[in-house]
Amino acid sequence: MKVLIDMNLSPIWETFFSNSGIEAVHWSKIGAAYATDEEIFHFAGEHKYIIFTNDLDFGAILFATNASFPSVIQARTQNLTPESLGENILLCLKQFSEPLQAGCILTLDTAKSKVRLLPFR
C-alpha cells in the first residue's frame, strides 16, 4: 500500500506513515506545489498511490470521471495532525485494506468512517 499525501496536509504525515511501515510521500517531494488536483489524481492512478487529503475535489473528480482508481482518503476534521487522527487512519488502512486496493473513497473523522466503492454508479 502506497499513500500520496496531498499538499493541503502537513509533510509530517510522511514520517508518521513511514514509522508505521507504510510507504508514503508528500506531493511536495514529487510534484509542483501549483499542480492541479487533476494532475495529482492522474499521477496517483498511474503510480498506484492512495491519495490522502482534506480536499473534497478528489471525490468530485472520481464522480465526474467515473474512475475506479485511485482510492481517496478524505480527512474531514479540524485537527489534521497525526497525533489527533493518526491512530484512526491506521485502523482504517487495516480495516479497509481490500477496498482501498480495489478502489474506494474513504471519508473519516475522529468519530466514524465511511467507505464507498468505485466507480460511483
Share of the chain above pLDDT 70, in %: 96
Q: Give CA–CA dist 16/115, Å, rounded.
A: 23
Q: In what order do the strands lie in the sheet with 113-117?
A: 23-26, 2-5, 50-53, 72-75, 104-108, 113-117
Q: Does residue 111 register a pLDDT over 80?
A: no
Q: What is the DSSP string of 34-57?
A: T--HHHHHHHHHHTTPEEEES-TH
For 29, the grid coordinates are 517531494
Whether residue 121 is predicted with pLDDT greater than 90 in this model: the reply is: no
Q: What are phi and psi of 116, to 5 degrees?
A: -130, 125
